[in-house]
Amino acid sequence: MSKLTNVSPQRMKERVTAGFEQNFGPLGDGHVYFAPGRVNLIGEHTDYNGGHVFPCALTIGTYAAVRRRTDRNMRFFSMNFPRNGIYESTLDQLFPSNRFGWTNYPKGVVKVFGDHGFPVETGFDMVIFGNIPNGSGLSSSAALEVVTAVMLCDQYGFDLDMEEIALLCQEAENTYNGMNCGIMDQFTVAMGREDHAIFLDTATLEHEYVPIRLKDASIIIANTNKKHHLKDSAYNDRRRECEQALEDLAKVVRIQSLGELSCEEFEEYKDAIRDPVCRRRAKHAVYENQRTIEAVRLLKKGKLGAFGRLMKEAHLSVSRDFEVTGEELDTLAEAAWRVPGCIGSRMTGGGFGGCTVSIVRNDSIPEFMGRVGRTYRKKIGYQADFYTVKIGGGPQIL
């Protein structure tokens, strides 16, 4: 995984500032902004089904050095993709770019801000530098959206709270980038709290900060190094399949989301779902929601082993019923379960590549990384990367 994951925030600020000065001159009265990545401990593909999720923000994320302009031009440069050079656009041409695809995230936020009565009248120069591996499923796109939104509020005087920012960023990803995601990623990035996960009801946005006390264990991320491209994958198909299942169920039971059903209610009404594929998708959404509620209850009681067993159940469900894992993620999870010091492991994020999240006893971390890494390389043919993550807070103006 990226060597930048251990670089301090101050050093990252210095490097992105230097990158700005190299490409656009002195930062002057501009600022450096930060938004974190996120990992979801349990509750996958429930956020767009009106269910619960349990994510946390990370200490790694996206840094942006931005200076406001006096004209309507926008210039973008990514230090993670320096060979692409500088991309130039204007506020009068807010169209998605194919070659400089990452710029669609900040441009989408600018567009949605304007649509909601927060017009950006003058352009800006932006240099970004992130230590979230691109395509890892740790919400680099949501971090870029939120860091842009925080910058816009600061530079242009817009008065929005973090929950409003999360909703606007989700809309930007849905409408401008064509990724029909739920609210979890943007909400977690915007609302993160150090050493806490967020127990979020995505139907109402009611949320609770739950302290994460792992005692003698740590959170380990394993990256398949298979990039996932959710817009080009079956992610949007899964959402449509869930919507079809909901439409069928609504004919026999009064619900507005799959998250309203208990497991028992689903079993009672499931035959109303005509397509067996849609039925499996709905089963995962319903059972995963209940699993998440139970997992948080257990964690609050300090029952980490039981929480870990639910992580395994969650992975099996997202693999068999939702079918978004694939050989790489399944190999990592199955190898992790065989390591005695692994309390729990599962796919995290949208799937189709990306990462697993595991809770591992500290004295077993070297064995865990070694055994799982060797198994993965032998079966898949290339290496996975591992690193220990810390739970961080939300966006900052540095």
Catalytic residues: 185
Looking at 178-234, list the stretches that DSSP marks H as alpha helix, in order from N- to C-terminal side.
184-191
Q: For residues 100 and 126, is the Cβ–Cβ distance under 8 A? A: no
How many Å apart are CA 198 and CA 205, to the nearest integer? 11
Place of tokens 């500032």: 17
Among candidates 154, 75, 170, 77, which has minimal Cα distance to 118? 154
- C-alpha to C-alpha distance for 354 and 365, rounded to whole angstroms: 20
State the Cα–Cα distance between residues 243 and 257, nearest whole angstrom: 9
Helices (H), 116-200: 140-156, 162-175, 184-191
Sheet holding 207-211, edge to edge: 52-53, 196-201, 207-211
For 135, the token pair is 């395509």
Question: 3-state DSSP call for residue 101?
Answer: helix
> What strands, in cross-sheet order, belong to the sheet with 355-361?
342-348, 355-361, 217-223, 385-389
CA-nearest of 137, 175, 185, 51 to 325 is: 137
User: Which contiguous run of DSSP H or E holds residue 75?
Assistant: strand 73-78
DSSP of 323-389: ----HHHHHHHHHHHTSTTEEEEEEESS-SSSEEEEEEEGGGHHHHHHHHHHHHHHHHSS--EEEEE
| Structure tokens that stand for 315 in this block | 């992975």
Which run of H or E residues covers position 67? strand 55-68
Q: Measured between alpha carbons, how far is 100 from 77 in angstroms, rounded to an integer?
A: 10
CB 121 within 8 A of CB 201: no
Q: 55: closest CA among 135, 133, 142, 131?
A: 142
